[in-house]
């Protein structure tokens, strides 16, 4: 299995009464796939899964799975947790619950900080138990666990681990070493929207990007430009998309993205659930302006 291209970690739209707006989610999922996204992520950070009930999480995954099945997109499902036994059990049954799942997106265990050796052992245990391939979600400013290039390359060699969403706040030496030494078929995907152009230039396979909600076709175009070797087009478009990405993260994710999607009439409210707060009008207006400007 080779992961490649732009994946959109879908927001969870909320209706006026606070319930999950599943109809809006279905339309949003279809629109980003129609615009060229390689696939969707259900229950990624952008989807606010920690604030969803178990029933709501199941419904979100079902909608995303149906849309991917109908349009040929790949579905990644957020899974895992600090309890290794519970995470392994969840992953063992994922294929049966969600036959459309192409892979699971799994963070190192948050708060525990097991060290690099413990993190690698954790993923070995999960990969052995899992019914689907795993993508490591390396985001140390959320998990508290940093990983060196050596640890990442060790993870890349684990059977059943097929990629990493690299979200360390930028591009560092570890990312460069990982890209240079990764085994064939192991995908390095940007999890930092503003650094997608740089990661693609270094040989990255694509990205899992919240801001791609707002300009899916343009992000797909950027990835294609790098693959085609069209450096002038890739650089020019990359600068514009980096500005959009920065604006989309001017407030805690996914508040700005939801504000823009609501302003565009694509979701019924801009609401997020506490402890998140909605983005302010200035942040939303700036991101909307940049997204609209990409069409001109």
Residues annotated as catalytic are 137, 165
What backbone torsions phi and psi does residue 9 show, to the nearest 5 degrees? -80, 100
Angle at 13 between CA 12 and CA 18, to 5 degrees: 110
β partners of residue 137:
165
Residue 9 is given by DSSP the state E
Distance CA 67, CA 27 (A): 9
Number of Cβ within a 10 Å radius of residue 185: 12
Secondary structure of 147-212 in HEC code, one letter for each residue: CCHHHHHHHHCCCCEEEEEECCCCCCHHHHHHHHHCCCCCEEEECCHHHHHHHHHCCCCEEECHHH
119 in Cβ contact with 144 (< 8 Å):
no
Across-strand partners of 163? 135, 187
CA dist 84 and 86 (Å) reads 6
Q: Which residues partner with 106 through β-bridges?
A: 79, 136
285: exposed, middle or buried (Cβ count in 10 Å: 0-12, 13-18, 19+): middle
Classified as helix, coil or strand, 42 is: strand
């Amino acid at each position: 299995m080779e992961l490649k291209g732009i994946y959109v970690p879908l927001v969870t739209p909320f209706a006026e009464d606070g319930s999950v707006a599943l109809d809006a989610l279905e339309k949003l999922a279809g629109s980003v796939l129609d615009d060229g996204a390689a696939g969707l992520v259900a229950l990624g950070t952008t989807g606010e899964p920690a604030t969803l009930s178990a029933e709501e999480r199941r419904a979100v995954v079902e909608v995303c799975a149906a849309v991917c099945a109908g349009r040929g997109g790949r579905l990644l499902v957020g899974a895992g947790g600090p309890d290794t036994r519970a995470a392994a059990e969840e992953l063992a049954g994922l294929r049966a619950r969600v036959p459309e799942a192409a892979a699971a997106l799994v963070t190192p265990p948050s708060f525990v900080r097991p060290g690099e050796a413990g993190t690698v052992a954790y993923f070995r245990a999960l990969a052995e138990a899992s019914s689907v391939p795993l993508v490591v979600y390396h985001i140390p400013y959320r998990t508290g666990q940093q990983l060196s290039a050596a640890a990442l390359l060790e993870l890349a060699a684990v059977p059943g681990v097929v990629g990493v969403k690299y979200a360390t706040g930028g591009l560092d030496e570890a990312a460069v070493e990982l890209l240079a030494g990764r085994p064939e078929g192991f995908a390095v995907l940007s999890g930092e929207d503003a650094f997608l152009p740089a990661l693609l230039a270094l040989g990255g396979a694509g990205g899992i990007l919240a801001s791609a909600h707002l300009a899916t076709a343009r992000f797909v175009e950027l990835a294609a430009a790098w693959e085609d070797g069209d450096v002038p087009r890739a650089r020019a478009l990359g600068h514009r998309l980096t500005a959009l990405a920065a604006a989309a993260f001017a407030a805690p994710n996914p508040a700005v993205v939801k504000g823009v999607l609501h302003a565009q009439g694509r979701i019924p409210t801009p609401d997020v659930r506490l402890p998140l707060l909605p983005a302010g009008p200035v942040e939303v207006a700036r991101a909307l302006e940049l997204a609209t400007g990409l069409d001109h």
